[in-house]
Structure 1
C-alpha cells in the first residue's frame, strides 16, 4: 500500500511537469524548476514572495541605488506632459507629490513622518524661507513638554510626544541629543481659575497623564522657594513632563527626513498657480458653481538669488507658522468667494526670552519644575550654575523683534520677585525675542484638510505650544495623506471646518512649549 501511494505521487509529479514550458535554458519543463513553478502550493508561495518583495521595495530604500542617477522629480503621481527620463541640471524639484510650506518644527515633522513611512514612494519637498531658523518660533521655544491642557486632543498629542522623546535614540540615534529633563511642570492658579485647573487635572489623569493637585499650604512645603500669595491650587506633573532642547528636535526631524530622501529648499512661496478642473464640484458652497472648480496646481517659489521657479504638486501643506495666514491668502483663502471668504486666523505674537543667573542660597534647586504663574511669566532651570530661562508672551502684534531690557525690569522682574523672591535680584546674562503663530479665533491648532481645496492641508495656529505637539501633528497629517483618515489620535475637531460653522475649540490652559 505504501509503495502504491509512492508511485501515485511520482505519477502526479510527472503529470504536473508533462506540459510545462521550457525553463529558458533549453531543457524541457520536466526538471525541478518546472515542478516548483507548476505545483499549486509552490506557485502560491512564489507569488506571495514576489508581492512581499514589492512591498519591501516600496517602503525600504535600496542601498544599491546610485545617488547621481536618481531622477530629482521621481514621483508616484504622473503629470500630463512630464518626461520621466529627463533629469534636471540642479536639485530644484519642478514636480513633487507633497509640497510643505514651512520647514520649522511642524513642517519638518510632517516631512519626517511621510518619508519614514513611504521612503522612495513619495517625493516630498519642504520650502523654508529662513533655513538658519533665526526668526523661527522654535528659537523662542522654552522646550516645554506638558499634558496640562483642557482639551483631550492636546493632552493626547503631548502624551505621544513624551513617549516618542523617551525613545528618541531609537528614532534619531545619538547625533543630536534631545536633552530631555523630566522635572515636570507646575501650573499655578488663583481663585478665578482654580476650579478649571482641577477639572483639567482630572481629565488629564483619566487619559494617562500623571499629576497631582497641591493646595497653597502643600505648595509651600513642597517648594520652599515659592511664594504662594494669591495662589489657591497648583497642578504638578509627576511623569512624562519637563523640557527638552527644541532646536535639537528640529535638527533631528530635518536630518532624518533628508536622509530618507526628503528635499529641503531655501526659498519663499510668493504665489500659487491655479488650474480649472471640471471633474470636481464642491457641495454646500454657494460660491462654487458645478463644473467650475479651480484648484491649486503650482507654487511660485522665490529663491535666495532673486529668481523664481514653479513647483507642480499633487498635495500641499501650509505649515508656515506665523506666516501661514499670509500664505493662505496667496491661495485666495480669506479673499475668495464662498468658503474661501473665511480667512485663516493666524497672526504673529511676540515672545520675550531672558537667561538669568542667581547665586542666592535660597534659589530653586535642580529639581525645580517649569513654573507657570497666573501673571503670564514662566521660568525653569537651565543646566547648572544657577542659570534659569524665563519670559513672557506679549500681546503686541508687530514685526519688531528687538529685545528691550527695560521690558524685563518693568514687566517681568517685579512678577518674578513676587513669586520667587530669591530671583528678584537675578542678573540678565542673555536675551532674545521672536514670534510664534497665534490662532486669534480660539487659540488652538488648526489641522487637517481645507474644506474647499481637495489637495490642501493645514497645520498651524498652535499658539505657543507647537513644538511639543509637532510630533503628533506630523504623524496626523501623514495619516491623512497616506491613509485618508486619522488612525491614532482623532483630531477632526481641530479642522478648519469649525471656523465655517463658528464652533470654537477653546484651550483654557496656556501651556507653553
Structure 2
C-alpha cells in the first residue's frame, strides 16, 4: 500500500475511473471503433479546459516534439512547468517534464523541512521568499483543496553571538526595507520570550513576526505538479541519456570559429522498459536539482572550450533531518523555527510534542554524498547535532529520536545561490538550480521568473539578473551569508 503522502498525486487519476456496470455491458455489443470514440469522448470530459496537450496526456502519447522541455520534475521543474502553462494559456506552449524517479524518494521536494523565512542577506533571496509567502497565502484560490499546505506562522528566529550581532542588525534592516516584518531581540528579551532557551553565548536574535513559519513541502510540490498537469504539462518517466548536437552555421558565438557552432535541440532518453527514444525541443530548462551539474556535463558544459569550459558549479550535498521528542516538557506550540549560529536548527512539529531539526555542517565537514545508510544518520546525530541541541535547549538533555532521514539537495559551491537564466553559449537553454537550502520556498518566484524569460524575453515582476550564469563568466560571486 502506498504511503499517504503519495495519495494526492494519484487522486486525480483514481477518481476519473468511474466505470459503471451499464457501460461495461454496452462494451460487449458496441462496434470497436465506436467504443474507442466513446472512451476518448469521456476522457476529454475529465478536463475543465480541453486542449491538445491534455489530450496527449490522457492518451499517454510519447512527446517526440515539444516547445519547452523541462528536465527535472521536482518542485522547481514543476513550478516552471506550471507558470509556463499558466502564462501561455491552455493551447499555448507544448511542454514536457522529464523525471527519472516518480517516487521522489531522495528529492528535496519530499525531504525538505518546509521552512519559510525572509531572513537572508541578498535582496533577491528576500524578495523571492516574500513572494513565496504571498503565493502560499493564495494557494487555495489557485488550486482549491490541493492548495492546503498546512502553513504554521510561528516565525523564524535567527541567533547571533557578539561577533555576528552587527551583521544580524544589517540584514534585519535590509529585510525590513524590502517588506519583511521582524524584530531584533537582545539576549535578555529572548530569555523573557523563550524561557526554554540558553542565551549565555547569545548577543541577539532576529524574529520574523509575519509571513514566516513552516509548511508541508510535499503538499506544495503536489499542488504545483497537479496544477501544471491540469493545464496540459506532460510528465514523462525516463532518464536523460544524452543530448544530440547539431551544426548551426547560422549562429555565431564570440570565441567560436564561424561555422563551427554546435547547438542542441534533441535529447535521448531511456524509458523504464529500457527503450531509447528521442525528444526534439525548441527550448530546454535544466531544473534537475542535485543532478543538474551532472546533466550539464552531458551538454558539454564544463568539458568544452571557451564558454563551455566553465562548469555549472552544482553538486549533491547530503543533509540529515531528525524527528525527536523530549522526555521532559519541551518548548511550546509557539516555538519558531530556531536557527542557531552554529548552523543547527529545529522547530516544533504538530501537537504531539515532536520536533524536527538538523545541522548544516561546517565547510569541509559535509558527509559523503554516496553514503545514505542509517548508521551514518545516527552517527551524525550523536557526534555533531546532539551536543549543540542540548546546549541551546537544556530540556533536550534527554531526547528520543523517533525518525531520521537523509537526502540530497543542489548545492552551488560557487556562492551558495541559485543560478537562474539562460546559458551564454546555448541560445535555447535555461538554468534554474543550485538553491542550496532555500529552493522549496523560492520555487514559486523562480518558476514565474523563468516563464517570463521564455515568454516575455526578460524578467517582468522581479529582476534576478544578478543570479544569472554570467556571474560565473566574469567571476563575480554574490554570496548569501544566511544559508541554513
- Range of TM-score over shorter length: 0.7 to 0.9
Change (3 A) 1:150 1:63: closer
Distance 2:467 2:53 in 1: 42
Deviation for aligned residue 1:406: 2.7
Q: 1:227 aligns with which of 195, 198, 221?
A: 198
Q: Equivalent residue of 1:175, what SS?
A: helix
| 1:275-311 Cα distance to aligned partner (Å, 9 max, x none) | 11111111xx32x112322111101111111111110
For residue 337 of structure 2, what is the aligned residue in structure 1?
370
Q: 1:388 aligns with which of 340, 355, 365?
A: 355
The question of 1:465 aligning with 2:442 is answered no
The question of 1:486 aligning with 2:456 is answered no
Change (3 A) 1:425 1:114: same
Q: Is contact 2:181–2:208 with CA below 8 Å preserved after alignment?
A: yes
Q: 2:69 aligns with which of 99, 104, 107?
A: 99
Q: 1:290 aligns with which of 258, 276, 298?
A: 258
For residue 77 of structure 1, what is the aligned residue in structure 2?
none
For residue 433 of structure 1, what is the aligned residue in structure 2?
406
Distance 1:425 1:105 in 2: 36
Deviation for aligned residue 1:231: 1.0
Deviation for aligned residue 1:138: 1.9
Structure 2: 5+ residue runs without aligned partners? 1-45
Q: Equivalent residue of 2:146, what SS?
A: coil
Distance 1:256 1:69 in 2: 12
For residue 115 of structure 1, what is the aligned residue in structure 2?
85
Deviation for aligned residue 1:397: 4.0
The question of 1:273 aligning with 2:244 is answered yes
Deviation for aligned residue 1:356: 0.4
Deviation for aligned residue 1:68: 11
- Over the aligned positions, Cα root-mean-square deviation in angstroms equals 1.8
Larger mean CA deviation between 308-317 and 138-147 belongs to: 138-147
For residue 420 of structure 1, what is the aligned residue in structure 2?
393
| 1:374-413 Cα distance to aligned partner (Å, 9 max, x none) | 1111100100110100112341242211233132122111
Q: Equivalent residue of 1:368, what SS?
A: coil
Distance 1:202 1:176 in 2: 32
Q: Is contact 1:359–1:386 with CA below 8 Å preserved after alignment?
A: no
Deviation for aligned residue 1:229: 2.0
Q: Is contact 1:348–1:397 with CA below 8 Å preserved after alignment?
A: no
Distance 2:417 2:332 in 1: 33
Q: Is contact 2:327–2:400 with CA below 8 Å preserved after alignment?
A: no
Distance 1:271 1:507 in 2: 33
For residue 18 of structure 2, what is the aligned residue in structure 1?
none
Larger mean CA deviation between 399-408 and 145-154 belongs to: 399-408
The question of 1:348 aligning with 2:316 is answered yes
Change (3 A) 1:458 1:69: closer
Change (3 A) 1:89 1:347: same
| 1:306-330 Cα distance to aligned partner (Å, 9 max, x none) | 1111100000000011100000000
Distance 1:399 1:69 in 2: 39
Deviation for aligned residue 1:112: 0.6
Q: Equivalent residue of 1:473, what SS?
A: helix
Q: Equivalent residue of 1:352, what SS?
A: strand
Distance 2:371 2:248 in 1: 42
Distance 1:434 1:245 in 2: 17
Distance 2:74 2:437 in 1: 13
Q: Equivalent residue of 2:106, what SS?
A: coil
Larger mean CA deviation between 322-331 and 289-298 belongs to: 289-298
For residue 204 of structure 1, what is the aligned residue in structure 2?
175
| 1:138-187 Cα distance to aligned partner (Å, 9 max, x none) | 22211000000000000000000101101110011113521000010000
Alignment of 1:486-505 (within 5 A): 486-505=459-478
The question of 1:334 aligning with 2:302 is answered yes
The question of 1:193 aligning with 2:164 is answered yes
For residue 15 of structure 1, what is the aligned residue in structure 2?
none
**Deviant stretches of 4+, over 4 Å:** 61-72
Change (3 A) 1:489 1:68: closer
Q: Equivalent residue of 1:465, what SS?
A: helix
Change (3 A) 1:264 1:379: same
Q: Equivalent residue of 2:358, what SS?
A: strand
Distance 2:162 2:75 in 1: 36
Q: Is contact 1:448–1:458 with CA below 8 Å preserved after alignment?
A: yes
For residue 427 of structure 2, what is the aligned residue in structure 1?
454
Distance 2:51 2:94 in 1: 17
Distance 2:196 2:217 in 1: 27
| 1:10-66 Cα distance to aligned partner (Å, 9 max, x none) | xxxxxxxxxxxxxxxxxxxxxxxxxxxxxxxxxxxxxxxxxxxxxxxxxxx995848
For residue 249 of structure 1, what is the aligned residue in structure 2?
220
For normalisation by structure 2, the TM-score amounts to 0.86
Distance 2:314 2:86 in 1: 29
Distance 1:71 1:223 in 2: 55
Change (3 A) 1:388 1:258: same
Distance 2:248 2:279 in 1: 18
Q: Is contact 1:100–1:126 with CA below 8 Å preserved after alignment?
A: yes
